[in-house]
């Protein structure tokens, strides 16, 4: 088996955050599909509506979006920058070669925390996509997110209010598509479809970076915010379903021990995959 692979036929069992069994991943998502919203968008599972309802009630600030753990933002930004630095050293992720502007997409951007602490520092232009309007409004009103007064001219260009399950990135616009702490709100099928659309949004040598909590095994359903935390193996399984490859994954450092382990996954189209580029790092 490849280092970046999981078997084609796999079964991931889940529990909710009260420790109750919720079945295999296939059985769980089949049940989710049966329960549809009766609101304006009845075509979507209630699973989605509950997630939006939860986040609509959260304060539009860093402490709110991080669940009271605002202090992890600094080590988060530090490790994000180190990963990008390493990727650019290998000619990926917007390594400057011909003077063209570098562009990033911040997915599930919330109040623009990842943009203001990291992406705006490293990219000429950043687009933000976020389904919760009050979060996006807070991001658009933040001078640090917008890049006001920056000597380097880096700017947030677009603020898009749309769920990831329907969002379509502009074709070949992005050097990096950054997806952090949001993908647990998507069903497996929507997750796969979204990553495939992101692939079409990449420029040559562009990458998708997904940063997510890891369950110890299987998955854990959060009953409060209507999301799941997938295990490392489960996330690799999803990546493999897209037809892309995990070029590298590494653990976040410096977080409190009571939190889930967090990994960063560098995802690339199969055409740009090189065996020599795999780094399964605990740094």
Q: Per the structure block, which two tokens stand in for 28?
A: 């769980």
Distance of alpha carbon 102 from alpha carbon 95, whole angstroms: 8
Q: Known binder of ligand: residue 252?
A: no
Q: How far is CA 217 from CA 152, 225, 241, 283, in A?
A: 44, 20, 19, 21
Contact 186, 156 (CB under 8 A): no
Cα 201 to chain centroid, rounded: 15
Q: Known binder of ligand: residue 243?
A: no
Distance of alpha carbon 126 from alpha carbon 279, whole angstroms: 27
Per DSSP, the chain holds a count of helices (H) and strands (E) of 10, 12
Evaluate the CA torsion angle 98, 180, 63, 58 in order and state its sign: positive
Q: Known binder of ligand: residue 180?
A: yes
Cα 265 to chain centroid, rounded: 9
3-state helix, strand, coil in the chain (%, to 5): 35, 25, 40
Q: What is the dihedral of CA 258, 261, 264, 270, to 10 degrees?
A: -160
Contact 224, 210 (CB under 8 A): no
Binding site residue list for S-adenosyl-L-methionine: 108, 113, 180
Binding site residue list: 108, 113, 180
């Amino acid at each position: 088996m490849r280092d970046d692979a999981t078997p084609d036929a796999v079964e991931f069992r889940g529990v909710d955050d009260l420790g109750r069994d919720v079945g295999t991943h296939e059985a769980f998502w089949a049940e989710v599909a049966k329960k549809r919203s009766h609101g304006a968008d009845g075509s979507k599972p209630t699973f989605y509506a509950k997630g939006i309802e939860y986040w609509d009630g959260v304060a539009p600030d860093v402490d709110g979006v991080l669940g009271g753990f605002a202090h992890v933002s600094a080590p988060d930004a530090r490790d994000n920058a180190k990963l990008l630095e390493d990727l650019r050293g290998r000619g990926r992720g917007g390594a400057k070669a011909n003077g063209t502007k570098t562009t990033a997409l911040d997915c599930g951007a919330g109040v623009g925390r990842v943009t203001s602490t990291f992406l705006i520092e490293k990219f000429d232009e950043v687009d933000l996509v976020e389904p919760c309007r009050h979060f996006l409004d807070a991001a658009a009103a933040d001078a640090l997110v917008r890049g006001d007064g920056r000597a380097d001219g880096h700017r947030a260009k677009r603020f898009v209010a749309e769920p990831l399950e329907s969002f379509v990135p502009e074709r070949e616009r992005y050097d990096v598509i950054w997806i952090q702490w949001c993908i647990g709100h998507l069903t497996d099928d929507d997750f796969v479809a979204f990553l495939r659309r992101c692939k079409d949004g990449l420029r040559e040598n562009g990458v998708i970076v997904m940063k997510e909590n890891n369950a110890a095994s299987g998955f854990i359903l959060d009953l409060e915010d209507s999301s799941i935390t997938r295990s490392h193996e489960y996330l690799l399984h999803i990546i493999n379903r897209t037809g892309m490859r995990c070029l590298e994954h590494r653990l976040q450092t410096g977080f409190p021990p009571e939190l889930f382990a967090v990994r960063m996954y560098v995802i690339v189209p199969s055409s740009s995959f090189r065996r020599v580029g795999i780094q399964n790092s605990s740094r």
